Amino acid sequence: MAIEKVLIANNTSIIQDEVLAHRLGLVPIRVDPRLFDYLSENDQPNEKNTIVFKLHVQCKRGSPRITVKSDALKWLPNGSELVKETRNAASDSSSKPETYTYFGCSQETILEFVKNPIIPKYPDIIIAKLGPGQEIELEAHTAKGIGKTHAKWSPVATAWYRMLPEVVLLEDIEDDLAEELKSKCPVNVFDIEDLGKGRRRATVARPRACTLCRECIRGDDWEKRVALRRVKDHFILSNSPLNLLEHYLLKFYLLKQ
């Protein structure tokens, strides 16, 4: 389930409407898609194929800038609240205004959502930043889809890896040189070991944190003191959504290359 249609009533932020809609489409929704039907072009959006969210935030004049996050998306279990514009001005004013969805019942009455309301999966995803006097008012309609159509419907994220860094001290680096080496590294890979009698020696304390930025070997003769390498048969998978089997299959594939 992902946001597919965005109905913008007001947007005075610096983010263009199409960019705002794209950002909203990538916000993951905490809901089981098996509970919903696919929405085709000929179907009417109803409680079985559509989820509606409302976003209405405003930064008042004289106030500091505010950050709009995904927790500002409010679930509308009764469907759309935006009234459609009708050409017939003489329509019966007593009839219920027509909106962009046709809900037969409230989604709050569905058993699965009684104790688990539909919300964004992560509440702290930044959507926009508003300055004084700026406002965003919109409705976001969520539909069911597949990753072949668009990446926002893909159930997994991209896995990335890097080789294990190896930092080797080619000689003993002591005293002032040790302090200099420690201060050169922006990610604090090196540490100082106290040898006693006022002597100090540099050690590689956190090699895995090394980003191979080469700051430690810049300058005169530092390439003769420190060597930066990669362990070619050791891979670090980070932020990977893969399950355990896929993890080892990917590692086996990389080792074969």
> For 84-105, what is each residue's pLDDT tens digit?
876 655 555 566 788 899 998 9
CA distance 212 to 163: 11
Q: Are 82 and 97 in contact (CB under 8 A)?
A: no
Q: Are 28 and 159 in contact (CB under 8 A)?
A: no
Q: What per-residue confidence (pLDDT) applies to 249?
A: 58
Q: What per-residue confidence (pLDDT) applies to 242?
A: 45
From residue 215, alpha-carbon distances to 187, 189, 210 in Å are: 10, 11, 10
For each of the domains in the chain, give its residue range(s) and CATH number, in order of start. 2-153 (2.170.120.12), 160-237 (3.30.1360.10)
Q: What is the pLDDT along the chain (257 residues), one digit of tens a residue?
A: 999 999 999 999 999 999 999 999 989 999 999 999 999 888 999 999 999 999 999 999 999 999 999 999 999 999 999 888 766 555 555 667 888 999 989 999 988 898 889 999 999 999 999 999 999 999 999 999 998 888 888 876 666 778 899 999 999 999 999 999 999 999 999 999 998 888 999 999 999 999 999 999 998 889 999 999 999 888 887 754 444 455 555 555 556 65
Instruction: Give Cα 35 distance to the centre of its chain.
Output: 24
Q: What per-residue confidence (pLDDT) applies to 241?
A: 47
CA distance 131 to 65: 5
Please provide the DSSP assignment of the chain as one string: -EEEEEEEEEE-SSS-HHHHHHHHHTS-EES-GGGS----TTSPP-TTT-EEEEEEEE--TTSPPEEEEGGG-EE-TT---PBPP-S-TTS-TTSPPPBS---SS-GGGSHHHHSS--EES-TT-EEEEE-TT-EEEEEEEEE---TTT-GGG-SS---EEEEEEEEEESS--BHHHHHHHHHH-TT--EEEEEEETTEEEEEE--GGG-----GGG-STTGGGTEEEEEEEEEEEEES----HHHHHHHHHHHHH-
> For 24-52, what is each residue's pLDDT tens digit?
998 999 999 999 999 988 899 999 999 99
